[in-house]
Amino acid sequence: MDSQDFLSAMKAGRMSRRDILQMLTAAGLTMTMLPVGRAKAAYGEAIYFTWEGYNDPGFHPGYTAKHGAEPEGPVFGDVEEALTKVRSGFQVDVVHPCNLDLQRWREADVLQAIDTSRLSNWGNLFESLKKLAYAQGDKGEQFFIPVDWGNTSILYRPDLFDVKEESWTMLWDERYAGQLSMAADATESVAIAGIVLGVKDPFNLTDEELVKAKELLVKQKPLMRFYWDSNSAVEQALASGELVAATGWNSSVVTLTGQGVNIKYANPKEGIMSYCCGLVMTKDAPHADKAYDLIDAMISPEAGKWLIEAQGYGHSNAKSFDLVEEKVLAERGLPKDPTQFFGQGIFQQPTLNVDKVQKLFEEVKAGA
């Protein structure tokens, strides 16, 4: 990769922090030698703030076709980081949170309602996904546009991990100390601890349950190789055998299988976690018109076909499934109706005591 390719990939968000550090080390450079700054409106394209790996051109082919350029693609490690940056003035147009984070974003008062009449593909989206908790305002305003839906579960190497029973407790298996990983996402990781504890609502733990969840995560911490913050980091570690099991998403199954890695995606006895992610528009979006073009492009049938085939996720546009062969859907374990899909496991909900959860998880990671 030459210098121009490297800078383009970094700017577009196609490289994780680990990838960047490895490239810089090989070149005898450091992070301090690179210019840093915030996303600026000066670039002229919509600024799309998302997870690492989610700014692939396949997500929005219509935008590229219309504007002859890609949107700007800064990335975040977790949603709390994204919200903190937006609240502090980080200037972006569109952000990609998930349904369980919507309450937090709505209460932060950083979003504007989205005029769905400007979205040509709005009418083809699954109705159940349009009306998720906190997706709409009191007067019916739409603040959240659903795009992708899928699972959080355990990726594991069956050739390296002796599985007696698929369960979330696999992530506490002391036989594999130093070879396990969880996402560096407080709400998800604490919820998983709640599931292992068998609480009634893992997304709304009582104070007593939070104490028990912390104890469980403290017990787990010495078993962790690292807490991952990008798909590429966890995929590379699983491919090399550095990890034998880790939390992960559907896309990693497709990626690792395509690389010839012996990988399985657990269906835990306690229930697999399901979620829906989508798009919100910031109150001060500097490129509002292009932001609408980006949103509409990401909910198009063509974008949905790519998402299903290339990433293994479900899509919000019902017409996307008509473009995908039944065999491909079956290989990815995707039904055509997300209502059926969500009913198969634990549908993630907004974390109601998120401040306590964030503080708890930071204390766990810090060894407090």
User: 209 and 356: one domain?
Assistant: yes
Is the pLDDT at 267 greater than 80? The verdict is: yes
Q: Are 359 and 237 contained in the same domain?
A: yes
Please report the pLDDT score of residue 85 as a whole number: 96
Domain containing residue 179: CATH number: 3.40.190.10
In this prediction, residue 368 has a pLDDT band, given cuts at 50, 70 and 90, of low
Euclidean distance between CA atoms 245 and 268, whole angstroms? 13
The pLDDT, as a whole number, for residue 329 is: 86
Q: How many domains does the chain have?
A: 3
Tell me: do 139 and 164 sit in the same domain: no
Are 288 and 164 part of one and the same domain?
Answer: no
Does residue 4 surpass a pLDDT of 60? no
Same domain, 161 and 263: yes
- Band (348; pLDDT cuts 50, 70, 90): confident
Residue 234 in any domain: the answer is yes
Mean pLDDT over each residue of the chain, to the nearest integer: 87
Instruction: Give domain status of residue 190, yes or no.
Output: yes
Contact (Cβ atoms closer than 8 angstroms) between residue 244 and residue 155: no
85 and 113: one domain? yes
Q: Higher confidence at residue 12 or residue 192?
A: 192
H/E stretch holding 81: helix 79-87
Same domain, 253 and 354: yes
Identify whether residues 183 and 216 lie together within a single domain. Answer: yes
pLDDT tens digit string along 218-234?
Answer: 999 999 999 998 889 99
Torsion region of 28: left, alpha or beta (phi above 0 gives left; psi -120 to 50 gives alpha):
left
Q: How many residues does the chain have?
A: 368
Same domain, 267 and 170: yes
Instruction: Write down the pLDDT at residue 367.
Output: 86
Least confident window among 13-27, 154-168, 351-365: 13-27
pLDDT, average across residues 323-344:
79
In the predicted structure, residue 34 carries a pLDDT above the cut 70: no
Mean pLDDT of 326-351: 78
First to last CA, the chain: 42
Is there a single domain that holds both residue 246 and residue 292? no
Q: How far is CA 190 from CA 10, 115, 140, 358, 362, in A?
A: 31, 35, 32, 9, 11
Mean pLDDT of 308-329: 93
At 6 the pLDDT is 40
Question: Between the CA of residue 339 and those of 103, 128, 184, 313, 367, what are the distances in Å?
Answer: 22, 7, 29, 15, 40
334 is a domain residue: no
Token pair, residue 217, equals 């995560």
Judging by beta carbons within 10 Å of its beta carbon (0-12, 13-18, 19+), is residue 326 exposed, middle or buried?
A: exposed
User: Do 360 and 260 share a structural domain?
Assistant: yes
pTM score over 0.85: no
DSSP string, 236-279: HHHHHTS-SEEEEEHHHHHHHHHTT---EE---TT--EEEEEEE
How many CA atoms lie less than 13 Å away from 88 in the CB half-sphere?
A: 8
Q: For residue 27, what are the domain limits?
A: 3-33
